[in-house]
Structure 1
Amino acid sequence: MKQQIVPPLAVHFVWHPNDNINTTIMDFRRYLTRDIDRPFSRELNIPTFLYSSQKRSHPPSNSPKKLAKKDVIFLFLSANTLMIPSWKEYINSLPERKNYHLVPVAVEHEGIGHTSEGRLKSLNCIRMFEWNEDFKKEYAIFYLSHELYRFGLKNINLLESGIDSSIRLFLSHAKKGDTGLKHAKAIKKFIDNSNMQGFFDVNDISSGFKFDEEIEKHIKRSTLIAIESDAYSTRYWCQREILTAKREKRPIILVNSLEEYEDRVFPAASNIPCVHITAEPLNDKDILRILIAALLETIRFEHARKLLTYYRNQKWIDQNAVIFARPPEIQQIVEILKKNKKSNNLVICYPEPPLYKEETEWADYFNITVSTPLWSSDKKSYKNKKFRIGLSIADYQPDGYDKQNQDLDELKRFSQSLARHLLANKHTLIYGGDLRNDGFTQFILDEATVLRDRLQLDKLFVENYLAWPLNVKQENLKWYANYNTVVKPVSASIPDDIKSLIHDISTFLPPDCLENKYIWSRCLTTMREESIKSSDIRILVGGKFENYLGKMPGVLEEFLIAYKQDLVIFLVGGLGGLTKKLCISIKNRKIEEEFTEEWQINHNNAYQDLQKIASQHGKHTDYDNLKEVIENITIPILAERAGLTNEEYERLMTTPFIDESIYLILKSIKNLPK
């Protein structure tokens, strides 16, 4: 099988479940991944993987794999990991590989004991137990980010000193006596008086002096912190520093410290992260916020450039594309055109997500193509084909990151990104049920609502199928009303064979007894049959084996119906859940135990009774037939339907990377016959 993509960086976290470190890990991880509550945010999008266990005496079943060009593994150490033999053995068994970097983090003093022998011998630990409790969250983000920068993005080895891998900061501020100068001095003093001297190399150059080669040289290799005081935008030399940093494509953050009024915000001081602080005095927590913002933007900037360069080498994007780590600006385009003289073949590529339509009108004027890895403004690259695409996306039961090493929020990121790109190409999305706060329908419809306004489309709808009795539930009707501009509710039929069992079709029927559960199972099957019959394509990801309503797990039933109807099917197995097990079963030509009737009976209360009443009506799940169907499905069959090679389809079934799975789906859909 052709190897899946190898992104520039992946981050892994390993911890003992009793160490109460989950909150710290998730706080830091939120800075590395795109915020699902702000899907159009321009934040880091680094793949993250989690390893822990549900039992104190057992380490994770899996260990961090080599997935990227550089893998950084944060090991959280304690008395638990040191004194429990299986945990100590697990840590010592981690392989020694090139670009596979272990970063020990001592949660408590006893964790340092790991560095006296074994795999972690002589490695320096991050000492969490020494941090000031008042700033513990800030210190965690700061120290972990810095190690990620050193080992993940800098070409260093373990023998190099901290100063050799430090981030160079350029403090841009107005001249003597201004608030900006006071803040710059406070930042410099904080760094000099702490143990952060090895993390940052600060260029202490006051603005107001002649902009010479020395200043420009510093900016070319620095992250610029622009301290926006009342006087900042009026200073010519400050403007020069911003423009130089933009021209040299350097990371920049803006520190907003206005006291009263600024008559004109300098246009170049935009399109960058901004931190707001109180005017003065600058306290330690605000300084930490500024340094964290500078560090994270440096990581985001360097990672974006490496990732886009890699995608260009993989031919995901135009081979001649000019790469930007932030969305392009007119001034930068003018400078490129001055050198290029031709705009009809100029392609600009920047990180996801795409810009709003209003922001790219200048690109049409200059006849320039702007793009992200998964989107392009070049309308010629898309054929005029519109498909009805059904989505089977569902959560699954988490296992404490024992075997499944990705968080469930990855399913939501996948659904958001997939919906964005499919709706932008004016395909119709079809989804069944799940009307709840933070459910997949909400995430998809939120994406559709924003996208409809962003692309200024007159019509952009998601069809949502609901089975009886959910379609008569009053709160569901109100739920639809909140999304009436983008959703088309479709009420599925009530099967004829159960109508006599229903006393009042206008009243909600709870699944609180065996007969009602049977009625629900029949209605859910009909809803799935009708929604899939109206689809051209089905995309499956996640899915649970337990605590479902129906005659079998929903994602499984939707797969079997879609396969029987010869639909194009995309199985995204790398994000876990039932779909992952289904992919393993198809690949090995042998079903996993979760697909057996015995397993289902043992793990789902009253399932055997439901099977009995369903069999009396000839509507039960035939597990012998299910086994035969799944074990006779081959990757070539699925790949041929989707128009992908066998290697590409197998990558779709296994990749843990959202971008790659969506890229393969979009590539297939673009090339499918109408």
Structure 2
Amino acid sequence: MAYSEALSDQAVAISVSESPDLGALGMGEAHLRDATAEMARHLLALGARVAYGGDLRADGFTEILFELVARHRRDADEGDQRAAVVSYLAWPVHISKPFHDLERYSQELEGMAELLFLAQDGTPLAKDQRRDLQTREAEPGEWIEGLTMMRRRMGRDTSARIIAGGKVDGYLGAMPGIAEEAQVALDERRPLYILGGFGGCAADIASTLGLAEVPGVTARDWGQRDIFANVSTADLSNGLIPEENRTLAVTPHIDEAVALVLRGLMRLRRGPAAL
């Protein structure tokens, strides 16, 4: 019988971005970067694929994932040649970059990571289609639709979602990115893991759900936050009991957060008897 890694059938989406609360929590950007890398490293070691909505900025979170997979291979099942990391590039992100630059970048990542270039409606674009595109900056309306459709595509393609950090103003989509990605996970009935200990949008969602208030995070309002008001911990469908979800929502310790996320994923894999 062929050996099978524990999470080899899983594609886990990680939603993480800058948090406005890091300073108040006694942290810096490096804490969030390290947390992202550590979470992804454990997922890859258990055979999971990691999905992320890429932005192609230098020193961004996409680059962290690519560097990580270059150092730590995914423990995939025998014969599984799929890329360890899939970066979903929304229409407004990639049309501003020359085709040949993106193609060269994609080739450099071959065997480690896959860049998925999406049309405005979220469908993947073939190389010939991308070659014919005119390089330009996207209009504001294209950002809203393009980001929403990218997130919906990820929601259908992935089996679970992890959120951490996230800004709550100055966003380009219909709502803060972390919030929309959490909403999609709930709509698709995918397991959702909320790491609120790094503040930001994830902490606000944890508070709105009644999970916990993150010490040091000031109450604030942002567009469509109330869509989470009627969500219960049971709706997270993540294999964790309420007390564990409350701990996950406030802990600043990435080792504890990783252990809880993996516990939930493994319970779900074993089925209802493990819950």
Q: What TM-score results when the alignment is normalised by the length of structure 1?
A: 0.35
Native 8 Å contact 1:643 1:672 kept in 2: yes
- Which position in structure 1 is the counterpart of 2:232? 634
- SS across alignment from 1:396: coil
- Which position in structure 2 is the counterpart of 1:560? 183
- Cα separation, partners in 2 of 1:462 and 1:384, compared to 1, 3 Å: closer
Native 8 Å contact 1:388 1:427 kept in 2: yes
Gaps of 5+ in 2: 123-130, 214-218, 271-275
- SS across alignment from 2:15: strand
- Which position in structure 2 is the counterpart of 1:484? 110
**Is the counterpart of residue 571 in structure 1 residue 197 in structure 2?**
no
Q: How far did residue 525 of structure 1 move?
A: 0.8
Native 8 Å contact 2:74 2:84 kept in 1: no
- Cα separation, partners in 2 of 1:453 and 1:543, compared to 1, 3 Å: closer
- SS across alignment from 2:173: coil
- Which position in structure 2 is the counterpart of 1:445? 66
1:367-407 alpha-carbon deviations (Å, 9 max, x no partner): xxxxxxxxxxxx89x646521111111113367x2x33221
- Cα separation, partners in 2 of 1:391 and 1:505, compared to 1, 3 Å: farther
Native 8 Å contact 1:524 1:550 kept in 2: yes
Equivalent of 1:668 in 254, 264, 273: 264
Q: How far did residue 477 of structure 1 move?
A: 3.6
1:39-61 alpha-carbon deviations (Å, 9 max, x no partner): xxxxxxxxxxxxxxxxxxxxxxx
Alignment partners' CA distance in 1, 2:239 and 2:6: 15
Kindly report which structure 2 residues correspond to 1:526-605, keeping only aligned pairs within 5 A, or say none.
526-587=149-210, 592-596=219-223
1:90-146 alpha-carbon deviations (Å, 9 max, x no partner): xxxxxxxxxxxxxxxxxxxxxxxxxxxxxxxxxxxxxxxxxxxxxxxxxxxxxxxxx
- Which position in structure 2 is the counterpart of 1:431? 52
- Which position in structure 2 is the counterpart of 1:646? 242
- Which position in structure 2 is the counterpart of 1:657? 253
Alignment partners' CA distance in 2, 1:445 and 1:405: 27
Native 8 Å contact 1:635 1:650 kept in 2: no
Alignment partners' CA distance in 2, 1:455 and 1:595: 41
Q: Which amino acid aligns with 1:669?
A: L
Q: Which amino acid aligns with 1:394?
A: S
Q: How far did residue 471 of structure 1 move?
A: 2.7
Pick which of 447-456 and 436-445 moved more.
Answer: 447-456
* Larger Rg over CA atoms: 1
Equivalenced residues, count:
250
- Cα separation, partners in 2 of 1:490 and 1:384, compared to 1, 3 Å: closer
Q: Which amino acid aligns with 1:541?
A: A
Alignment partners' CA distance in 2, 1:574 and 1:548: 21
Q: How far did residue 564 of structure 1 move?
A: 1.0
Q: What TM-score results when the alignment is normalised by the length of structure 2?
A: 0.81
**Is the counterpart of residue 391 in structure 1 residue 14 in structure 2?**
yes
Alignment partners' CA distance in 1, 2:168 and 2:36: 20
Q: How far did residue 443 of structure 1 move?
A: 0.8
RMSD over equivalenced CA pairs, Å? 2.9
Kindly report which structure 2 residues correspond to 1:111-510, keeping only aligned pairs within 5 A, or say none.
383=6, 386-397=9-20, 401=23, 403-452=24-73, 459=81, 460-472=83-95, 473-474=97-98, 475-495=101-121, 506-510=133-137
Alignment partners' CA distance in 1, 2:220 and 2:199: 16
1:176-222 alpha-carbon deviations (Å, 9 max, x no partner): xxxxxxxxxxxxxxxxxxxxxxxxxxxxxxxxxxxxxxxxxxxxxxx
- Cα separation, partners in 2 of 1:589 and 1:442, compared to 1, 3 Å: closer
Native 8 Å contact 2:165 2:196 kept in 1: yes
Alignment partners' CA distance in 1, 2:149 and 2:108: 26
- SS across alignment from 1:595: coil
Native 8 Å contact 1:432 1:465 kept in 2: yes
1:58-88 alpha-carbon deviations (Å, 9 max, x no partner): xxxxxxxxxxxxxxxxxxxxxxxxxxxxxxx
- Which position in structure 1 is the counterpart of 2:125? none
- Which position in structure 2 is the counterpart of 1:523? 146
Gaps of 5+ in 1: 1-378, 497-503, 597-622
Identity of aligned residues (%): 26
Q: Which amino acid aligns with 1:651?
A: T
Native 8 Å contact 1:470 1:508 kept in 2: no
Q: How far did residue 537 of structure 1 move?
A: 0.2
1:13-54 alpha-carbon deviations (Å, 9 max, x no partner): xxxxxxxxxxxxxxxxxxxxxxxxxxxxxxxxxxxxxxxxxx
Alignment partners' CA distance in 1, 2:269 and 2:221: 36
Native 8 Å contact 1:392 1:539 kept in 2: yes
Alignment partners' CA distance in 1, 2:32 and 2:212: 26
Q: Which amino acid aligns with 2:28?
A: D
- Cα separation, partners in 2 of 1:509 and 1:482, compared to 1, 3 Å: same
